[in-house]
Amino acid sequence: MGFFKQKADAPAQEPKRDPSPSSGGSGSPSQQERVTLLACALGAIAAIGGFIFGYVSGQISGFFLMKDYARRFGELQSDGSYDFSAARQGTIVGLLCVGALIGSLIAGKMADTVGRRLSISMFAFFACVGTIIEISSSTHWVQFAVGRLVTGLSIGALSVVVPMYQSESTPAVIRGVIVSSYQLLITMGIWTAEMVNWGTETKSNSGAWRIPNGLTFAWALVLGAGILFLPESPRFAYSRGRVDEARQTIARLHGLSTDSDIVNNQIADIQAKIDEESENTAAFSWTEIFTAPRMFYRTVLGIVLQAGQQLTGANFFFYFGTTVFAATGISNSYVTQIILGSVNVFATIIGLFIIDRFGRRVILMTGAAWMMMCFLVYAFVGHFALDHENPMLTPKAGSALVTFSCLAIAAFAVSWGPLVWTVNAELYPIRYRSFCMGIATASNWFWNFLISFFTRFITDKIDYFYGLIFAGCCAALVVIVFFFLIESKDRTLEEIDTMYVQHVNPITSSRWDAAQFRDEMRQPQPSDVHEHAHEDEK
Ligand SMILES: OC[C@H]1O[C@](O)(CO)[C@@H](O)[C@@H]1O
């Protein structure tokens, strides 16, 4: 059953959809929708959740090189210095991901219970608690690691609720940019952490690492308080019966009056979807995420795409970049990290410009193919051309490694970095959105954890050939996107759902005509004619 069908029993105050295809919610909403300051502010403030994510993931690699941090939490070496074993380092890095995995699984329930906005505020508060646990550990590395677990819980939950809130609240014409700004802020968080680390590293006073560490508290406070000044997601508000609030929010976000066609049509579409979903079963059962129309396909696709984002290998550079580049003989590895971080930020900004211009599919496939090439070069140069004993003897190989790492990061930053969050927030209908986004995001954190924990063990053993694994994954991702992902650029969330339910072919999906589909749905069906005939008889 199509979502454009107007329900006979729709609430009296609900509008009839404007039949004109140019009235919004059509295949080309960009012709009517406006970009408002409120929509941008909403996107930007919520995206601070991404900044915290980037900041806490980016700071840790620099901590390991700080003398005071190593003296407190590292292991005493035979020469009297302190260093970290692969296991301890992996635990400290990886527990953040474990916490985040748990956070992403509980986030959906919370977002559906107290709403998107309050959940964001609450989960930001968890980051404050985690930071206090970390910063107050003086010599107990386990306490520090537990603090990372709690902070992780916060950023994992935020990684589900923030893109969901942004995607449900913003007009289709800028949805790609707004949800991708979440990733931009992640990259800015990583970059800021690297800069603050760099500035703090030379400070000789004990506990200098507490400065970058403690700043997390401030970012979380800004998010937790700031989000409370924004409106609730209109789709969530509507699903809780707050129809007027939803209507007003959509109107404000689009810069239109509450009775404009676009607002009426969006409300009608949301209503139709909610009606359609509640027809399926009375109470939500988790098995529906596999059994409801086209949900098995989408749930698996979401999980695979989120895992794919990690399997592109970008985090390999972010978590262990400092160590890897030090091993290539490049003197100031902090500087190398900052270069990588800067490439990441600038390329993500470029990504935001192209995201709503080219389709999601093209960008994802090109990005994965480009990263595959970079990893191939990285693996072969690192394996054959670099002198592992004395890297200073092979400076050209060292420079090539840094260059191709930068190129890989750039490709990631314009494609898989931002777009996976966007696509994940677009894939599912509202009934399953929070649950499925949670599961898919958990798969991102699961792979993030595996990479952060095991990379050091693996690189110690199989050297730069490790890059071949990531190259293979990137090749697989090109194929997966080509055959399975439907193009969602410029579609409303309700249209995207309809495309999946209608089995639109992913390869030709960018040409799907929503207006024509709507017209077809309005043609009297044989069954309708039958029903009317009976009515006439009566
Ligand atoms: O920009 C790099 C960062 O982006 C992410 O993949 C999230 O989208 C992180 O896991 C990574 O650290």
Using one digit for the tens of pLDDT, what is the confidence trace for 468-480? 999 999 999 999 9
Please name the residues in contact with 446: beta carbons below 8 A apart, sequence gap of 6 or more.
97, 101, 307
More confident residue, 44 or 455: 44
Which helix or strand (DSSP H or E) is residue 466 part of?
none
Range 52-62 average pLDDT: 90
pLDDT band of residue 203 (cuts 50, 70, 90) is low
Calculate how far, in angstroms, residue 417's C-alpha sits from the geometric centre of ligand 1.
6
Calculate how far, in angstroms, residue 183's C-alpha sits from the geometric centre of ligand 1.
7
Range 168-174 average pLDDT: 87
Q: Average per-residue pLDDT in the chain?
A: 84
pLDDT band of residue 532 (cuts 50, 70, 90) is very low
- pLDDT above 60: residue 443: yes
- pLDDT above 60: residue 274: yes
More confident residue, 317 or 258: 258
pLDDT band of residue 89 (cuts 50, 70, 90) is confident
User: CA angle, 131 as apex, 130 and 134 as ends, to 5°?
Assistant: 90
Q: Got the DSSP string for 55-94?
A: HHHHHHHHHTT-HHHHHHHSEE-TTS-EE--HHHHHHHHH
- pLDDT above 50: residue 166: yes
For residue 29, what pLDDT is reported?
A: 45
301 C-beta neighbours (distance < 10 Å), count:
23
pLDDT band of residue 24 (cuts 50, 70, 90) is very low
For residue 324, what pLDDT is reported?
A: 66
CA-to-CA dists, residue 74 to 67, 69, 213, 515, angstroms: 9, 7, 17, 63
Ligand 1 pocket check: which of 51, 52, 57 to mutate, most ligand atoms within 8 Å of Cβ?
Answer: 57
More confident residue, 405 or 17: 405
For residue 538, what pLDDT is reported?
A: 39
- pLDDT above 50: residue 2: no
For residue 163, what pLDDT is reported?
A: 94
Q: Which of 90, 222, 186, 188 is nearest to 145 (CA)?
A: 90
Burial 45-58 (b: 16+ CB within 10 A, else e): bbbbbbbbbbbbbb
Calculate how far, in angstroms, residue 317's C-alpha sits from the geometric centre of ligand 1.
10
Between 166-175, 276-285, 407-416, 528-537, the lowest mean confidence (pLDDT) is in 528-537
- pLDDT above 80: residue 131: yes
For residue 8, what pLDDT is reported?
A: 32
Between 62-66, 122-126, 206-210, 461-465, the lowest mean confidence (pLDDT) is in 461-465
For residue 26, what pLDDT is reported?
A: 41
- pLDDT above 50: residue 1: no
Range 47-72 average pLDDT: 89
For residue 68, what pLDDT is reported?
A: 84
- pLDDT above 70: residue 158: yes
Residues near ligand 1 (Cβ within 6 A): 57, 183, 186-187, 309, 314-315, 318, 344, 417, 448
CA-nearest residue for atom 8, ligand 1, is 417
What confidence tens digit (pLDDT) does each residue in 209-266 have?
888 999 999 999 999 999 999 999 999 999 888 999 999 999 999 888 888 888 888 8
Question: What count of Cα atoms within 13 Å lies in the side-chain half-sphere of residue 427?
Answer: 34
Whole-model pTM? 0.83
More confident residue, 107 or 316: 107
Ligand 1 atom at minimal distance to the Cα of residue 183: 8
Contact between 253 and 36 (Cβ < 8 Å): yes
Which helix or strand (DSSP H or E) is residue 312 part of?
none
CA-to-CA dists, residue 237 to 4, 241, 270, 476, 516, angstroms: 21, 7, 11, 39, 30
For residue 534, what pLDDT is reported?
A: 47
More confident residue, 81 or 505: 505
**Would you call 538 helix, strand, or coil by DSSP?**
coil
CA-nearest residue for atom 7, ligand 1, is 417
Distance CA 444, CA 414 (A): 18
**% of the chain exceeding 70 in pLDDT:** 84
Burial 118-152 (b: 16+ CB within 10 A, else e): bbbbbbbebbbbbbebbbebeeebeebbbbbbbbb
Give the number of residues written for the chain: 538
Question: What count of Cα atoms within 13 Å lies in the side-chain half-sphere of residue 454?
Answer: 10
Residues forming a β-bridge with 83: 75
For residue 283, what pLDDT is reported?
A: 64
426 C-beta neighbours (distance < 10 Å), count:
25
For residue 460, what pLDDT is reported?
A: 64
Ligand 1 pocket check: which of 52, 53, 422 to mutate, most ligand atoms within 8 Å of Cβ?
Answer: 53
Q: Which of 467, 447, 180, 482 is nearest to 311 (CA)?
A: 447
Calculate how far, in angstroms, residue 444's C-alpha sits from the geometric centre of ligand 1.
10
Between 32-36, 322-326, 498-502, the lowest mean confidence (pLDDT) is in 322-326
Range 342-368 average pLDDT: 92
- pLDDT above 80: residue 303: yes
For residue 172, what pLDDT is reported?
A: 82
